[in-house]
Amino acid sequence: MNTNQSSPGRAFSLIGTFASKRIKLLLSILVLSFGSTAAFAVAPVFTLQPDLSSTGSTGVASPLINANFDYVVILSTSGGATTGVTTLKTNLPVGITLVSITPLTGFTCTSAIVAGVTTVTCTTATAIAVGFWGQHILTVKATTLGAKVISSSVSGGGGTTVTASLTTPAVVNTAPDIAISLVQPVPTFKATALSEISVTIKNQGTRANEKDLYFSMSLPAGVTVSKNAFQRNADSWDCVMGAPSTLYCWSVIRLSVGASNTIRIPITPLANTVGVQIAAFTANVFNVPFDLNRTNDTTSMTPTGIVTTLSLGSISDPAYSTVPTANNPYAKPILNPATIPQFAMPLPNLLHPSNVLNYWFSGNLLNLDIKQIKSPILPPGFPVTDVFTYGYRYPAQTIIARSTEPTLNLSGLGQPLSIQYNDTRTQTRHLLPVDKSIHGAMGGEPEIRSVTHLHGIKKVDQSSDGYPEAWLSPNGQTGDQFSMPPTVGYNPAAFNYPNNQEATLLWYHDHTLGMTRLDVYSGLAGLYVVRDDNEMAKIAANQLPSGPYEIPLLLQDRMFHTDGSLAYPDVAPAGTTSSATGKPIPSPSMQPEFFGNVMVVNGVSWPYLEVEPRRYRFRVLNGSNSRFYTLKIETCPVTPAGGVPQPCATPRTFKVIGTEGGFLNAPVTVSSLTVAPAERYDLIVDFTGVAAGTKFTLTNYANSPFQGIPAAGAATTIVTGIDDRLVEFRVNQPLSAKPNAVIPASLRLAAVPALTPTAGIPVRQVMLADNTDEFGRVVPSLGTLAGGLKGWMDPITEQPKAGTIETWEIYNASTDSHPIHLHGGHFQLLNRQTYGAAAPDTTPLQEKTWKDTIIAHPSQITRIKVKFDNAGLFAWHCHILEHEDHDMMRPLNVLP
């Protein structure tokens, strides 16, 4: 930057810009004042300050020979008004001709050509007021090849002349020719069923596009799109709906000569369109610099035939009502999962920028609206699904934070984060049947209410933890423990997250008393990624896969009605009776667990992922209500149409590098991995050297309900071809130029510290066991060995002190394995020991680090060492959400 500085005074700026997506050059011109206290005299002087960065000139296309482009002069004042005549002069060199002038208001322009140089002179005698900003546009044409130098000057106005020049990129004789085309919807239109229209963008020109690609698509009457779900079709595209009925999409793709890219747009005909032929869809590609062939920038497609009626196969299930009632309008046919094509939709990457919320531009405060949207969970040919979500995507948008833990934040990039959760839902009835006989839902509480818990956050204040009774509803009702000051619209104050912990994967989800299972199932869950200096250094050194090679896997199971809506069991379980007091069996009624018959990963049923022959990092979260997963990566036979699915075989090993508490000391190689609800694991899967065309399947071998790893030959409840298959990996992408990541033998800056229990504190002995309620329904419960089973409202028995480390012994006298989660304290697994065994079992290497959720198996004692950080009122519970809601949760009061 060249600067001639003197005393402060008035200021102008002159920006020379190549428009038509153009180079911008900032020229700041100071009008300086000189004088003394005795006699003030003004002697203006202009000072030139070129500054490219301030105008954000990036991604500029080279000018095309014989094509028009704009040179823009921006004049602004900030110090005082001009006096006399102000002159703007621009010299266009040989090879640049003037086409037209769009002058600033009040300026008069003339042009003259001398020795091939065109001089454009624009003047005004009108004073230019302080605070003025305006554009002076010269449309020009390049007539010869090579770089050109254009100069501009400003003079008069009471000051001296200042000149600046701008060198254009080389003028070239090649250009992109971007064409757009549409194909017929697949499958053909059926009312309320999802179809896809493929939009293909192809470069038929002689050079690559040098700007982002944009297109619009006008939608005819009678159809809708699944808003904010378009990135599911191709991670390189993102779209939004504009008005009226116009879809706008953009991509950072640069298409080389002859290359093309396709995005599939989800389209759903409305219910009232049966028998109607949908009118034409029109698409237009725009904003392509120097795309001279405009004839192929617009295309239309009229769907053939008429919209027909959707008819889907159903199944009967005794857990679901078939006749709607006033209290239970959810009785509808259950969709047959065998009719749903598997591996028909691509896996969305929840770390793709379109799915991520970064908060650095919002003052460390995020506003997240809780709302109801539609999302295409099922493949084309099936209806879209109403869900609840945070933000405007399903699953909820991923939040990426940076650790503030001092030893992992030497870069100083770590920041705390505040999130304002705004429940904007206008509905009064839940998406799912609500059992109002259980604690937390029986006192006239509204069905629409929420409180959010960031699962796994360390050192959080109790007011930001998401205590189950601290819920609030959009109508202004609040739970008994709601103490945060309300803001506009009855929203709570922002929740504050310190991010004082290692790099890891957390998740945020609803935690409302008596409603958690329904709210999470309906969609109120999202990922929260904490990065730290150690992880970022490993990514920079290519020791961890990153970018498109780092992909979360949010595992869930769901059931659907034939209209696409979420289905949830509502019939009282077998063995229930009217209570001794004569109360009828509740309808809808609580279930002991829920196991869906459709496997959903990252919000899509049975997706596929196309991969390169390289290493990938998968961030696994079990986000299911009750289902455990024992994961393997196998080759699975293709099931022919109408055939019987065959078991998978040949498991492939993979590496575990971390858990919900952060990195392990070193990678652990496994061939299978059991993941309980709410547990997270960080995996490396290596496809290096795999032959093109090979397919692998991420499979599941965990029983439902899960009662521990089954012995060889034990009975299983896995349904081959349904809940044993999750994602298909297709090794069919060419190896990119990015080097394959090399995973280091050591993952941490320092080994996982061994916790030493605080002296003088006795071992805390808690228990898990089954109870029954007045209707004979199973009520999984927590308690102590000394005091027996307790409910949520019983006096608090777990009251450790902040700053202490305790040993907990968890005795599981129930028949199920339970994932136990503690708020307010992170822990390490000490060991597990079967009742009556002489010695504990060997602790799996992948569990030898920090944890916030641990599996307690039946007939075992699970021992953990817990470190309690902040004082406050928290909770501990089983993370099988049906258990948590009924009544397997207890307060945890950490004393100061």
Q: How far apart are the first and last CA of the chain?
A: 57
Three-state secondary-structure class, residue 273 = helix
Please name the amino acid found at residue 593: E
Q: 197-219: per-residue pLDDT in tens? A: 999 999 999 888 878 899 999 99
- How many Å is the Cα radius of gyration of the chain? 32
Sorted by sequence, the CB contacts under 8 Å of residue 658 that are 6+ apart come out as 504, 664, 681, 682, 747, 849
Q: Which residues, listed in sequence order, are joined to residue 70 by a DSSP beta bridge? A: 19, 139
Residues of the chain with pLDDT under 70: 1-61, 78-79, 159-165, 168, 227-235, 358-363, 484-491, 580-581, 638-642, 710-717
Residues 6+ apart with CB under 8 A from 844: none
892's CB contacts (< 8 A; 6+ apart) are 796, 798, 800, 822, 823, 824, 825, 873, 874, 875, 876
Question: Cβ distance 421 to 471 under 8 Å?
Answer: no
Whole-angstrom Cα distance, residue 19 to residue 16?
A: 9
The torsion angles phi and psi of 354, rounded to 5 degrees, stand at: -70, -15
Which DSSP symbol is given to 7? S
Secondary structure (DSSP) of 781-796: EEEETTTEEE-TTSPP
Number of H helices, E strands in the chain: 3, 56
Q: Is 896 exposed, middle or buried (0-12, 13-18, 19+ CB in 10 A)?
A: exposed
Contact in structure between 415 and 402 (CB atoms under 8 Å):
yes
For residue 568, give Cα distances in angstroms to 120, 313, 765: 73, 18, 35
Q: What is the pLDDT of residues 337-363, one digit of tens each?
A: 999 999 999 999 999 888 888 665 456
Per-residue 3-state assignment (H helix, E strand, C coil) for 327-340: CCCCCCCEECHHHC
> Tokens in use for 232?
């599911």
H/E segment holding residue 539: helix 533-540
632 φψ region: left (φ > 0), alpha (ψ -120 to 50), beta (else):
beta
CB 601 within 8 A of CB 467: no
Decide: 93 and 167 in contact? Cβ < 8 Å: no
- The domains located in the chain, with CATH, are 10-167 (2.60.40), 178-301 (2.60.40.290), 764-894 (2.60.40.420)
- Name the amino acid, one letter, at 340: I
| Residue appearing with tokens 């652990």 | 668
The pLDDT of residue 615 = 98
Integer Cα distance of 836 and 700 in angstroms: 31
Contacts of 493 (CB under 8 A, 6+ apart): 420, 463, 484, 485, 486, 487
Check: CB of residue 570 under 8 Å from CB of residue 319: yes
Contacts of 863 (CB under 8 A, 6+ apart): 807, 808, 809, 810, 829, 830, 831, 832, 833, 840
- Alpha carbon distances (Å) from 522 to 386, 395, 498, 517, 566: 8, 10, 28, 9, 8
Token pair for 286 = 């725009």
Residues in the chain: 896
Distances from the Cα of 885 to the Cαs of 435, 447, 566, 787, 878, in angstroms? 10, 14, 19, 22, 9
Residue type, 707: Q
> 828, 862 in Cβ contact below 8 A?
no
Q: What's the maximum distance between 2 C-alpha atoms anywhere in the chain?
A: 107
pLDDT in the model for residue 163: 67
Beta carbons of 768 and 754 less than 8 angstroms apart = no
Q: Are strands 365-375 and 417-423 parallel, antiparallel or unpaired?
A: parallel
